[in-house]
Structure 1
Amino acid sequence: MVNRPQLVDQWGRPVKRAELRKEVSAPTLSGVRSPISGYPGNGLTPDRLAVILREADAGDPIRYLELAETIEERDPHYAGVIATRKRSVSQVEMTVEDGGETSHDLEMAQMVRDWLDRDELADETFHILDAIGKGYSFTEIIWDTSMGQWMPERLEYRDPRWFRFARHDLSTPMMIGETGQEEEMEAFKFIHARIAAKSGLALRSGLARLATWNWMFKAYTQRDWAIFTQTYGQPIRIGKYGPGADQKDQDTLFRAVANIGGDCAAIIPDSMMIEFVEAKSIGSSTDHYERRADWLDKQISKAVLGQTATTDAETGGLGSGKEHREVQKDIETADCRALAAILNRDLIRPWIDLEYGPQKRYPRLRIARPEPEDLKAFSDAIAPMIDRGLRVSASDVLDKFGMREAPASAKILTPMAATAAQPHPETGGSGAVPPESAVQYPFNTRLGQPGPRAPLQTQTRSTGLSEPLGVSVDRLQQEAAPDIERMLEQIEVMLEAATSLDEAKAMLLEAYPDLESDGLADLFAEAFLAAEAGGRALIEAEAEEADG
């Protein structure tokens, strides 16, 4: 019999494999974990809100959590920005990094990758991210052991009202048991997510704590706005009766005036009349109510998303839309890293321990948007290095471009240079005529890379020059060849490093004073002096022949 090592969680609690096969925190209608919620937001006042928050600080967060739920239901702006933040993270692709290079490490990582390919994962991570608003969340892992293996079948979001924190530190999570008492949570059974908006206790670190005050103040503003609109936004109905009207006629007129607003119909005697006075004659305005409500919404946008440009259109506001988007991107990146750390700690590592036992290296979950990369710059930089002998894995390059390795039976695209080197269909020669750029220029400017340069010719050319001058030209060409080669090598290095013709021009002008041209200049000076002397001697010889 094999003795398995005793597994413990991050709090030192031993793992009970039999308990992992059960649902331990499912809701019960008649028990203490009831899905029915209260509504502490009804008639909320500053005094009541302060009491609710103090209760949460003391370890009794039920009314605070119910109030946080109410705000998401009744405040469309808060619901929109908090959902935007959660959905932006839940839709980011998850990848798995291998824990090592052995076959065992690769097998564990592939098991996690296969499990991540689930349609339900986006919704499960969305509910885990409820911790952004309330400060923390609890998700029960439903393990599947039907085939003798351990695998997460699904992740069930649990109401945070069914959990508490230990009274001695207000940070160690506890579960409400069937008897209503606080019990230790089963190890390897829950994902305890905490994404804090500020440092401190989890009960005081959620964004909902900020939103409660903001929502209460906006509720007062909206109530006053509604009363103002009802009082001054509707026409005033005035009933008039004659001097001979008795009490019965007056009651009839009053009922008609009272009901005509909703029924839009009434019957009154000919001796009576109803007059409607338009509210616009009073000269009232509701701009201050709207401005206050908008200002409160902007504070929530700043708290949740870090900016206002993506939620509140404002002409001439501070900062551009791009800068505001960068702020939101920073928050998203932080949320992705926090969620990845939570899942690695509470899901991936426990799963590997249950399935394979404790490991030295574990596969790691990574949640991040791929950074855009300039593939052209990568190609221009890597090609000269490969030409100089750098060993680069083909799979790494293919991954950069998002391509897979072509199978042996696939039709392969060939580069233009390889095509040009094949036999010409008409001439049947061993090679086709090189491109025009390779003939006219020492560099293949069409491809942006140095092309083949023909070696400098040193043999005497049939130029039609006289024999003494032809010999001088051939000698100059032979003696100048080494200096020209060194100069061309320097120019080649600059052209290889340049990414455009303008950049190459600037590099050549910048490097011109430092080019090694002293030896070439001396050589040309000697050649010019010799040519002048030879020319004088040739003229004198021709003159002597003419005189003789």
Structure 2
Amino acid sequence: MAIVDIHGNPLQQRTLREPQTSQLSQLHSEFAAHPSSGLTPPRLAAILKAAEAGDIRAQCELFQDMEEKDAHLLAEIGKRRRALTTVDWEVIPPREASATEQAEADWLNEVLQDLPDFEDLLFDLLDAIGKGFSCIELDWARYGSEWLPAAFNYREASWFQLDPATRTELRLRDGSPDGQALNPFGWIVHTHKAKSGYVARGGLYRVLAWPFLFKNYAVRDLAEFLEIYGLPVRLGIYPNGATQNEKSTLLNAVVSIGHNAAGIIPEGMAIDFKEAAKGTHEPFDWMVNWAEKSMSKAILGGTLTSQADGQSSTNALGNVHNEVRHDLLKSDAKQVASSLRQYLLYPLLVLNKGGERDPRRLPRFRFDLVEPEDMSTYAEALPKLVEAGMQIPLSWAHEKLRIPLPTKGDAVLGTSAPVSPLQAATRLVALKGTSGDEVADPLGDLAEDLATDWQPVANMVEGPVQQLLASCKSIEEFRDRLPELIPQMDATKLAEQIAEGLFAATLAGRTGAV
């Protein structure tokens, strides 16, 4: 029986022996054309239109230039891409998993945890946020009886094209009009829905290309402004009858003074410095700030987390923007997890565990994006809610506070053991015997200790009685049904508490502590 991928395409044996791109040497020897050089609005529009028609090479090379030439853009997209690499993750079995499915999920966890460059894989996959897609070529190797990825090779987006028929399938550029289809089990293909649209229009850089262009214009104009208005105008004055050679000498001296702050001129000539025309850099700064704010909004969902405006912001507004950024992180995590499930978990299982696979019963890749609740709030509220009678599951509290439940043999934190009434009475006797000072209110302390230990025991008895009372319509019905509760009550602890309290009180009275 042929081995097929999750889309039903059969595995070719050479895919496991060598990467597909090893047969396309022309791609490895290509050099980028850097279309951002001399970029103009008409040329940018032409690049974007060509990508819509299926030729995405120039667009991908432009996007690469944008990251290299714009430090703000690189920093903002780097924040978003690296955020997911810091999140804990795990492979979990499907719902109501069988023992076999649980064992397969545990095996996948071990395999992926042992991969040294898995965080780099996540970072490379998120290159699709800006470009719309990211393709990672798998280099398979045999380790004992298992087929495992030996390397995750990031391939430049400019190596690919779209199929002419649907413009949705990514293919390698091999010189043919249709391109070469990607081998099943040979690639992790991640298409990212940063915005709606097919692959060529799904990346954020389609939106950011225009702010990038206008920012470049503003920076260039600012440089020219500083060159022109930052230095005074130098005028060389030569006498009537000066020869051409003397004029050239004076001109060279004027230029030299502007750059070297030193020069010589013939006698009888002069250099006059005129104040530069008045101007301001504020329009250029405004354009640069507008472009950077637009980039921050598109990439992170806000500007306060990046301080693109150079001004301080309030903590409250910053928290709002951080929440928006967390929503983006959750969206990125879900999309990456889906790609990993199809193009990594499925091949690992099929190649190593065999058998036909129902895509609906595959293990899932899950990022731990649940944020812990405020412990101080819960520490104050939970005891009051429990005292009020609410039944709160222990597992729910642990989940909310992100505190794992202890396993067998784990040491746990705890409070000091509660003081029993007998211990309280003994301490009172000791205080009376070793110190001549009177204890402030020993009887009150004893009563408080008895009340503290009495309450949990009383609740065990009172609870069923109160429930029965609430369900009865008359006092007669309650009286008749009261004997039904006797088998449900455990009076042992109640009797022990009463006996211990009486003994403690007797001991304290006889020794004179009270």
- State the TM-score, normalized to the length of structure 2: 0.75
Q: Deviations over 1:347-385 (max 9, x none)?
A: 112211211123453321101323213453796489779
Structure 2 residue aligned with 1:528: none
Q: What's the offset of the Cα at 1:172?
A: 1.9
One of 13, 16, 28 as aligned partner of 1:20: 16
Find out whether 1:41 has 2:36 as its counterpart. yes
Find out whether 1:440 has 2:442 as its counterpart. no
SS in 2 for 1:268: coil
Cα 1:119/1:427, change in 2 over 3 Å: farther
Cα distance in 2 for partners of 1:387, 1:299 equals 49
Cα distance in 2 for partners of 1:383, 1:364 equals 36
Cα distance in 2 for partners of 1:394, 1:130 equals 37
Q: Deviations over 1:218-250 (max 9, x none)?
A: 222222222222221222222223446433222
Cα 1:391/1:205, change in 2 over 3 Å: closer
Structure 1 residue aligned with 2:379: 376
Structure 2 residue aligned with 1:463: none
Q: Deviations over 1:38-74 (max 9, x none)?
A: 1111111222112111111111111111111111111
Cα distance in 2 for partners of 1:44, 1:22 equals 39
Cα distance in 2 for partners of 1:69, 1:454 equals 69
Structure 1 residue aligned with 2:481: none
Q: What's the offset of the Cα at 1:16?
A: 2.0
CA contact (8 A) 2:163 2:171 kept: yes
Find out whether 1:188 has 2:190 as its counterpart. no
Cα distance in 2 for partners of 1:36, 1:339 equals 29
Aligned pairs for 1:298-337 within 5 A:
298-311=293-306, 312-313=308-309, 314=311, 320-337=317-334
CA contact (8 A) 1:32 1:179 kept: no
Cα 1:454/1:289, change in 2 over 3 Å: closer
Cα 1:55/1:259, change in 2 over 3 Å: same
CA contact (8 A) 1:21 1:145 kept: no
Q: What's the offset of the Cα at 1:15?
A: 1.4
CA contact (8 A) 2:87 2:367 kept: yes
* Deviating more after overlay: 305-314 vs 199-208: 305-314
SS in 2 for 1:346: helix
The letter of the residue matching 1:283 is K
Cα distance in 2 for partners of 1:438, 1:9 equals 74
Find out whether 1:170 has 2:167 as its counterpart. yes
Q: Deviations over 1:67-104 (max 9, x none)?
A: 11111111112112111111112222212223355443
One of 214, 238, 243 as aligned partner of 1:241: 238
Find out whether 1:266 has 2:263 as its counterpart. yes
One of 90, 93, 112 as aligned partner of 1:95: 90
SS in 2 for 1:276: strand
Aligned pairs for 1:94-243 within 5 A:
94-99=89-94, 101-117=97-113, 118-177=115-174, 182-243=179-240
CA contact (8 A) 1:33 1:176 kept: no
Cα distance in 2 for partners of 1:285, 1:391 equals 66
Q: What's the offset of the Cα at 1:139?
A: 0.6
Ranked by relative contact order (alpha carbons within 8 Å, sequence separation 6 or more), the top structure is: 2
SS in 2 for 1:416: coil
Cα distance in 2 for partners of 1:300, 1:425 equals 70
SS in 1 for 2:138: strand
CA RMSD in angstroms, aligned pairs only: 4.1
Cα distance in 1 for partners of 2:260, 2:44 equals 40
The letter of the residue matching 1:236 is V
Q: What's the offset of the Cα at 1:387?
A: 11
Q: What's the offset of the Cα at 1:155?
A: 1.4
Cα distance in 1 for partners of 2:280, 2:79 equals 34
Cα 1:391/1:48, change in 2 over 3 Å: closer
Structure 2 residue aligned with 1:350: 347
SS in 1 for 2:273: strand
One of 66, 69, 79 as aligned partner of 1:71: 66
CA contact (8 A) 2:305 2:322 kept: yes
Q: What's the offset of the Cα at 1:37?
A: 0.8
Cα distance in 2 for partners of 1:367, 1:411 equals 27
Cα distance in 2 for partners of 1:170, 1:33 equals 24
Structure showing greater Rg: 1
SS in 1 for 2:294: helix
Structure 1 residue aligned with 2:290: 295
CA contact (8 A) 2:234 2:273 kept: yes
Cα 1:294/1:394, change in 2 over 3 Å: closer
Matched residue count: 447
Cα 1:391/1:272, change in 2 over 3 Å: closer
Cα distance in 1 for partners of 2:443, 2:135 equals 68
CA contact (8 A) 2:421 2:450 kept: no
Cα 1:290/1:437, change in 2 over 3 Å: farther
- Choose between structure 1 and 2: higher helix proportion: 2
Structure 2 residue aligned with 1:431: none
Cα distance in 1 for partners of 2:219, 2:420 equals 75
Q: What's the offset of the Cα at 1:212?
A: 1.5
CA contact (8 A) 2:125 2:135 kept: yes
Find out whether 1:405 has 2:387 as its counterpart. no
Q: Deviations over 1:453-477 (max 9, x none)?
A: 699xxxxxxxxxxxxxxxxxxxxxx
Unaligned runs of 5+ in 1: 429-433, 456-481, 491-515, 517-548
SS in 1 for 2:20: coil
Q: Deviations over 1:393-430 (max 9, x none)?
A: 8997899523643639x7985742278777969979xx
Q: What's the offset of the Cα at 1:443?
A: 5.4
Q: What's the offset of the Cα at 1:441?
A: 7.7
Q: What's the offset of the Cα at 1:293?
A: 1.6
Cα distance in 2 for partners of 1:125, 1:315 equals 32
Structure 1 residue aligned with 2:479: none
Find out whether 1:283 has 2:278 as its counterpart. yes
Q: What's the offset of the Cα at 1:116?
A: 3.1
- State the TM-score, normalized to the length of structure 1: 0.71
Cα distance in 2 for partners of 1:382, 1:356 equals 49
Cα distance in 1 for partners of 2:413, 2:286 equals 65
Q: Deviations over 1:506-538 (max 9, x none)?
A: xxxxxxxxxx9xxxxxxxxxxxxxxxxxxxxxx
The letter of the residue matching 2:364 is R
Structure 2 residue aligned with 1:59: 54
Cα distance in 2 for partners of 1:95, 1:81 equals 27
